[in-house]
Chain A
Amino acid sequence: QVQLVESGGGVVQPGRSLRLSCAASGFTFSSYSMHWVRQAPGKGLEWVALISFDGSYKYFADSVKGRFTISRDNSKNRLDLQMNSLTAEDTAVYYCASGTNMDVWGKGTTVTVSS
């Protein structure tokens, strides 16, 4: 079945970096664009980044532009999010989602930025 599994979350100090991964299975990963979406504690959904099916196009929310990068390895069915210069405002559950319509979502991985 179609599955997305995020990993890499944890507690990190402000200003440090963290890399999240999303392992995809059950579908042709290389044919679909992929997203990262986050949700701060008690808050709504915030779209973070999008990468096209072949990695040629990348888009970012203003709140993370210049600090986060998105990449994918279609040979390994893996999506990554490199997060640099983290602040407390980046504390959230991070979800990966597949497809133009964000049809399928992973269960999320929690990132806590705290000293």
Chain B
Amino acid sequence: QSVLTQPPSASGTPGQRVTISCSGSSSNIGSNTVNWYQQFPGTAPKLLIYANKQRPSGVPDRFSASKSGTSASLAISGLQSDDEADYYCAAWDDSLNGHVFGTGTKVTVL
């Protein structure tokens, strides 16, 4: 059972900006850093953002993220058809003593 809540879907037309929210609590997002993962159908997830807003080498700067209090968000600007994927937030949870993933958001490019 996921303790981080994301909208099930988000969509936009090519070139638009899409934002995905991730809502948690004081025991996870409120006290630990947030990572974001991108997953295409039938493939393994890929780290997209770490430590709230840092991009690993090779991730386009169209992807950005932020955190405030017990929520985080991922933004995709200049939306492209290649961005169609599932996106998951994740954080360590001090109460559960384990990592938790968000419920996942499917991004569709219209």
Contact = CB atoms under 8 A, between A and B. Distances in A.
Contacts, number: 57
Grouping DSSP codes into helix (H, G, I), strand (E, B) and loop, the A interface class, with mixed when no group exceeds half, is strand
A73 B37 CA distance: 27
Contacts of A14: none
A62 B2 CA distance: 12
Interface residues on A, range: 20 to 34
Contacts of A97: 45
A101 interface: yes
Q: Which of B44, B47, B97 has the most CB atoms of chain A within a 10 A radius of its CB?
A: B44
Interface of A: 35, 37, 44-47, 50, 59-62, 95, 97, 101-108
Given A47-B99, A95-B44, A104-B47, 19 more contacts: A35-B99, A44-B88, A44-B102, A45-B37, A45-B90, A46-B2, A46-B101, A50-B99, A59-B97, A59-B98, A61-B96, A61-B98, A62-B98, A95-B45, A101-B51, A102-B35, A103-B56, A105-B47, A106-B44
